[in-house]
Structure 1
Amino acid sequence: MTGPRDDHPQGTPGVLGLILAAGHSRRFGGDKRLADFSGQTLLAATTLALQPHVASVTVILRHGERPEALGLPADTDVVQAPSTPIGIGVSLAAAVSELLASTEPRHQQGEALALMLGDMPRVRADTLHKLVAQARHDLIVRPCHQGIPGHPVVFGRRFWPALADLDGDEGARKLLKRHQQQVVMLAVDDPGILNDVDTPADLPSPQ
């Protein structure tokens, strides 16, 4: 399924944000979440980029981590990944399971979930706004730049139980393939949806 829907109200408050930040940065050579990105940690920069466009942001951290140690406010909503490093699918499933079980009204009323990688602060504000504006409970919205799909991906609530059932280290890739007919590809002029930070060379040059 391609092409955006134009009848959605702008700035949907029912979209929740979930940032995946429990990985181990092996290609980076250190904890990239702490890398400096324009005066703040990389993870904080990504979180601040998403925050204005969603009703709330939850960050998946490694087991036992505290948000303030990563440059985030102490009151940041956090889900702890399992103590055994058994893949992004398991961490994602644990986080979505917590959201589904939550009794907080903002979680219960959530219509969609924007999944964002913790090392992608370059996604533009207008791109995030457009993605959120297309959210539906029964759709998956994914941005693409010059025909290449990127992140974040917005999953309607219909797909949350399937996200909560993921395992292994493949994330939501199989889910996207299984539900191709419900995927809206949103074309954007924004290379930031493809630009994650894998090595120190991917960071902005010091001023």
Structure 2
Amino acid sequence: MTALQDDSQWRAPEVLGLILAAGHSRRFGGDKRLANLGGQTLLAATTLNLQPHVSAVTIILRHGERPEALGLPAETDVVQAPPAPIGMGTSLAAAVSRLLVSSESRHQHCVALALMLGDMPWVSADTLHKLVAQACHDVIVRPRHQGRAGHPVIFGRQFWPALAALEGDEGARGLLKRYQQHVVMLDVNDPGILGDVDTPADLPTLQ
């Protein structure tokens, strides 16, 4: 198990926020990304919560979607998932593949990416700060609250090619098992790392 770094002399590493928001909200009964949360959409709230802690944010949307239709600024950097509904893993792979070949400095200089679900706006600023402080090219950092692992997960750049090779609907779960010797668990007093939205009833419960 890799040891945590001391962030007392912290300097922000270049970490890209990558938000997964191409799902179809079947359990929610509608598009949960548009759910109203304090006057903004759920997806916008998640994005704004993560944005101050990373060097840039990219959001994975469904094929053909525009960010402003989801309450996001038009200039938001987005990657559109493939047109066929072929799973989270394939959508994630498409986004990371683009990042690997990007000529933009904000992508080339990143040592890691923070993989966040689009329905998790309650992760605390302190947790996000601590996670980003541990970012390194050859480490995967995951928060844990009361024994339960949550999000976001920080993937060092060494693991991006593996993310780009994902297929189907499993997402990155299999990679966490494959590279478990590189995973650092960061214990936090923050239920927000577990607070995703599956049904409308989750919104008042988790706020």
Is this a same-fold pair by TM over 0.5?
yes
Cα offset for 1:7? Answer: 5.1
* Contact preservation (8 Å) 1:16, 1:107: yes
Cα offset for 1:153? Answer: 0.1
- In structure 2, the residue matched to 1:69 is 69
* Contact preservation (8 Å) 2:93, 2:164: yes
The residue type equivalent to 2:121 in the other structure is P
The residue type equivalent to 1:85 in the other structure is P
- In structure 1, the residue matched to 2:178 is 178
Deviations 1:153-202 (A, max 9, x none): 00000000000000010000110000011000000000000010000011
Point out where structure 2 has 5 or more consecutive residues left out of the alignment.
none
* Contact preservation (8 Å) 2:13, 2:133: no
Point out where structure 1 has 5 or more consecutive residues left out of the alignment.
none
Cα distance between partner residues in 2 of 1:4 and 1:37: 34
Cα offset for 1:66? Answer: 0.2
| Segments of 4+ moved more than 3 angstroms | none
Q: Give the number of aligned pairs.
A: 206
- In structure 1, the residue matched to 2:111 is 111
Deviations 1:35-91 (A, max 9, x none): 001110000000000000000000000000000000000000000000000000000
* Contact preservation (8 Å) 1:9, 1:133: no
Cα distance between partner residues in 2 of 1:49 and 1:190: 14
The residue type equivalent to 1:53 in the other structure is H
In the TM superposition, 1:86-125 aligns within 5 A as 86-125=86-125
Cα offset for 1:5? Answer: 1.8
In the TM superposition, 1:7-46 aligns within 5 A as 10-46=10-46
Cα distance between partner residues in 1 of 2:8 and 2:161: 24
Residue 146 and residue 95 in structure 1: after superposition, are their counterparts in 2 closer, same or farther (change >3 A)? same
Cα offset for 1:9? Answer: 5.1
In the TM superposition, 1:37-56 aligns within 5 A as 37-56=37-56
Deviations 1:9-53 (A, max 9, x none): 535241000000000000000000000011100000000000000
- In structure 2, the residue matched to 1:192 is 192
Cα offset for 1:204? Answer: 2.6
The residue type equivalent to 2:113 in the other structure is L
SS at match of 2:49: helix
Cα offset for 1:147? Answer: 0.9
Cα offset for 1:106? Answer: 1.0
* Contact preservation (8 Å) 1:11, 1:53: no
